[in-house]
Amino acid sequence: MRHIAVIGAGITGVTTAYALRDQGYEVTVFDRHRYAAMETSFANGGQLSASNAEVWNHWTTILKGVKWMFRRDAPLLMNPAPSWHKYSWAAEFVRHIADYRANTIATARLAIKARECLFALAARENIAFDHQTRGILHIYRNRTGFAHAARVNALLAEGGLDRRPVTPDEIRTIEPALAEDYHGGFFTPSDSTGDIHKFTRGLADACERRGVRFVFDAAVGPIRHTATGVEIGWSDGRAKSDRAPPPETLAVDGVVICAGVASRAFAATLGDRVNIYPVKGYSITVHLDDDESRQAAPWVSILDDDAKIVTSRLGADRFRVAGTAEFNGLNRDIRADRIAPLIDWSRRLFPAMSTERVTPWSGLRPMMPNMMPRIGAGRKPGIFYNTGHGHLGWTLAAGTAEIVAAQIRATLPPV
Ligand SMILES: Cc1cc2nc3c(=O)[nH]c(=O)nc-3n(C[C@H](O)[C@H](O)[C@H](O)COP(=O)(O)OP(=O)(O)OC[C@H]3O[C@@H](n4cnc5c(N)ncnc54)[C@H](O)[C@@H]3O)c2cc1C
């Protein structure tokens, strides 16, 4: 039986490991943390959203970015300090404006397929992840935003998605908890939400039951080619350098890089260019401790396109609010001035919900300049990628895992 290593136990790594095991491979997953889903797949916006398939490569994103550049609470923030990677990535992002239409349609198609894969996995393995199937509601405060969304709708429809315009009155009926007035909205009944962390941990357990081996606390590197395959080197991520045990190695037939924002560095050592930039985002989890807050928080998932904020109701007593895009390298600090707008927004839209107990979090979206995940073989034999899912990794991962597993099967059959 051929043996494949997967680097990374986030949502992309664990779905990939499951798909490979299902195809009959021996699979070993490595992660530098002690548990699965401890980095970007920890506390994201929770939306399984084909309706959010629009890629960001559009002139309006650039104009908004420039306008917001010096506002510390802006939804999009670029640290202007010089960095070759940041500015070359931005230049490539601009070049891909030409692909906006095709990539938005392709992402919608992939998202629809991927959610079918994810629902099937959850049902097959009986994974509880606070899944809410009440749809996603996009809200707009002015005519300009609504008109742009109508143009996006035509592309989503080409990708096969049914997202319909709704009036201010319909918005109030769909989600009565929403305060403030809106120009209009779009509603996607087939979209849903859930806890990415619970799902990934549940699927990792299922993988183990099916015979996948997990090596945690393992800082992987280097990955080398040998005459017969690939050699994975790793050291104990917890060890102090003066008392560290010698690095360990494992010989495998192939490897899939699913290392989130670290994938770019791995690719560089393997002769591939996977130009991922870490685009930081923040979330808050509002703990709905009293009855009034539980009543006042919405059940339908909201996407506020002007504020670039998304929400998910994670069971009766948790409400997740996420957003902002910050270009500041691998910095993971949780900044108070970036968390405050999420709390203010929640107070304005859901005034009777208490924000007394709120857990803040930050994560790094592994973002390609064309906003499309990198799926498939590298230059050298036995090297594969399933990474770079950006702002839609939770939505897309179960689908891209199937794609990469099928490609591996075509070049390196399991037996
Ligand atoms: C604020 C925010 C909100 C979001 N909201 C949504 C949403 O609503 N819907 C949606 O679809 N997506 C959303 N996303 C995007 C989604 O969360 C990500 O695309 C997804 O979690 C990325 O998963 P991953 O497996 O690629 O990366 P990760 O989850 O980061 O996993 C990579 C793993 O690789 C491991 N690793 C890296 N280097 C090494 C090494 N050297 N050795 C060993 N292990 C290593 C890491 O420890 C990590 O566990 C959001 C992201 C953010 C930040």
The residue whose CA has the least distance to atom 18 of ligand 1 is 393
Summarised one tens digit per residue, pLDDT across range 212-225 is: 999 999 999 999 98
- For residue 11 and ligand 1, the question of a CB distance below 6 A is answered with yes
- Is the model's pTM score more than 0.75? yes
Summarised one tens digit per residue, pLDDT across range 346-383 is: 999 999 999 999 999 999 999 999 999 999 999 999 99
- For residue 39 and ligand 1, the question of a CB distance below 6 A is answered with yes
Q: How far is the CA of 387 from the centre of ligand 1 (A)?
A: 9
- Is 390 inside a domain boundary? no
- Is 108 inside a domain boundary? no
- For residue 366 and ligand 1, the question of a CB distance below 6 A is answered with yes
- Is 260 inside a domain boundary? no
- Is 261 inside a domain boundary? no
Which CATH number fits the domain that encloses residue 141?
3.30.9.10
Task: Find out whether 302 and 175 touch, Cβ atoms under 8 Å.
Answer: yes
Mean pLDDT of the chain: 96
- For residue 382 and ligand 1, the question of a CB distance below 6 A is answered with no
Summarised one tens digit per residue, pLDDT across range 96-154 is: 999 999 999 999 999 999 999 999 999 999 999 999 999 999 999 999 999 999 999 99
Q: How far is the CA of 364 from the centre of ligand 1 (A)?
A: 7
Q: Which domain holds residue 305?
A: 59-83+132-191+277-367
Summarised one tens digit per residue, pLDDT across range 24-45 is: 999 999 999 999 999 999 999 9
Summarised one tens digit per residue, pLDDT across range 312-355 is: 999 999 999 999 999 999 999 999 999 999 999 999 999 999 99
Cβ burial, residue 59 (10 Å; 0-12/13-18/19+): exposed
Q: How far is the CA of 410 from the centre of ligand 1 (A)?
A: 27
- Is 69 inside a domain boundary? yes
Work out whether the CA dihedral 370, 371, 377, 382 comes out positive or negative. positive
- Is 304 inside a domain boundary? yes
- For residue 31 and ligand 1, the question of a CB distance below 6 A is answered with yes
- For residue 311 and ligand 1, the question of a CB distance below 6 A is answered with no
CB atoms within 10 A of CB 48: 29
- For residue 282 and ligand 1, the question of a CB distance below 6 A is answered with yes
Among 183, 184, 182, 188, CA closest to 153 = 188
- Is 4 inside a domain boundary? no
The residue whose CA has the least distance to atom 16 of ligand 1 is 393
Report the distance separating Cα 271 and Cα 196, nearest Å. 32
Looking at the structure of the chain, the number of domains it has is 1
Task: Find out whether 256 and 7 touch, Cβ atoms under 8 Å.
Answer: yes
- For residue 375 and ligand 1, the question of a CB distance below 6 A is answered with no
Task: Find out whether 39 and 30 touch, Cβ atoms under 8 Å.
Answer: no
- For residue 52 and ligand 1, the question of a CB distance below 6 A is answered with no
- Is 103 inside a domain boundary? no
Among 276, 282, 313, 268, CA closest to 295 = 313
